[in-house]
Structures are given as structure tokens and as C-alpha cells.
Amino acid sequence: MRQKVESHFGLIMAVVIIMMIMPRYMSSPTVEYDSVRFELAVKELEPGTEVKLTEITPFDWEICYTFDPYTSKQEIQRIIGFASSSVKEAQSEGMVQLLFVKDDKVTASECAFPETIGYDIDLKGRKEIRASEDPVFRVTKKDELVILTLAE
């Protein structure tokens, strides 16, 4: 009987530990959902038009960040001011890396090759854009890739 109780206790402890650790390494389902919604909104844009970023983001955000390739997760979290399991490191040149943030929470996150997500975005060298700026982007298309370029 004692052995059975000890094995149950061990199993329960393992489950508790896993449940405590997993959120640190898994992105929020809401963040993933909003990232896909943004991707779909961008893919529907017509070339030759201009669009406000706030009009195509189906979620709330205050700041959109982008980072250089190979920027560590720790450095990204230092820059945004908080830790999040939704922060990812760009592991290669040419990846799209966007992090939308509101009230010290990530609301959407993208870290992938343009060919994988169907779009690319050019912030003209800027590392962050605020929703309050109401930034406008020109929409072009190259093959099947939608390209958003910050209008000057």
C-alpha cells in the first residue's frame, strides 16, 4: 500500500512540475491565433494599395517590435521589458520577426521565413512602431509573396 501511495505521489509531483514549466516554453494559444489572423489579413491585401497597420491587425497592440537575426530571447525580453513564452529568436537571416505588445503582454508574434507565412514587411530600419503613430504601409506583391513597406 505504501509503495502505491509513493508512486501516486511521484506521478502527481511530476504532473505539477510539468504544468508549472510548460507555460514558459509554449506560446499562448491566443497569441498564435492572433498571429494567424494577422497573416490571413495581410495575404488578402491588394497590390498597389496603402493600408494602416492598425486596420489589418485583428487584435489590440501598442508597440510592434522587430529584432535583428540571432538576437537572444533574453535580449528581446530586456528590450520589451518583460518575459514571455511567445518571444522567439530569429535563427537565420531574412526571417520576419514581429512582436506586437500591449500592457506588458505579447498579443501577436511572428518569427518565420516570408515564404512560409506568405508575406514580408519592411519597417525601413525602424526597430519599433507605435499604434498611436497609425503607420501606413504600401502593399506590393512578388510572385505569391505580399510585401508591406512602411510609407515615408
Q: What pLDDT does 25 receive?
A: 37
Question: In this structure, is residue 5 part of a structural domain?
Answer: no
- SS3 sequence of the chain: CHHHHHHHHHHHHHHHHHHHHHHHHCCCHHHHHHHHHHHHHHHCCCCCCEEEHHHHCCCCCCEEECCCCCCCHHHHHHHHCCCCCCCCCCCCCCCEEEEEEECCEEEEEEEECHHHHCEEEECCCCCEEEHHHCCEEEEEEECCEEEEEECC
Q: Full-prediction pTM beyond 0.85?
A: no
Domain presence at residue 6:
no
Instruction: Supply the pLDDT for residue 22.
Output: 39
Residue 11 resides in a domain = no
Structural domain that includes position 51: 27-150
7 in a structural domain: no
The CA-atom distances, in angstroms, between 139 and each of 45, 106, 126, 131 are 7, 25, 18, 18
What's the pLDDT at 63?
Answer: 97
Number of domains in the chain: 1
Residue 43, in any domain of the structure: yes
Asked whether residue 109 is assigned to any structural domain, the reply reads yes
Query: Considering the domain boundaries, does residue 13 fall inside one?
Result: no
Per-residue pLDDT in tens (0 to 9) along the chain, 152 residues: 556 555 556 556 554 444 433 343 344 678 888 989 999 999 999 999 999 999 999 999 999 999 998 999 999 999 999 999 899 888 899 999 999 999 999 999 999 999 999 999 999 999 999 999 999 999 999 999 999 999 97
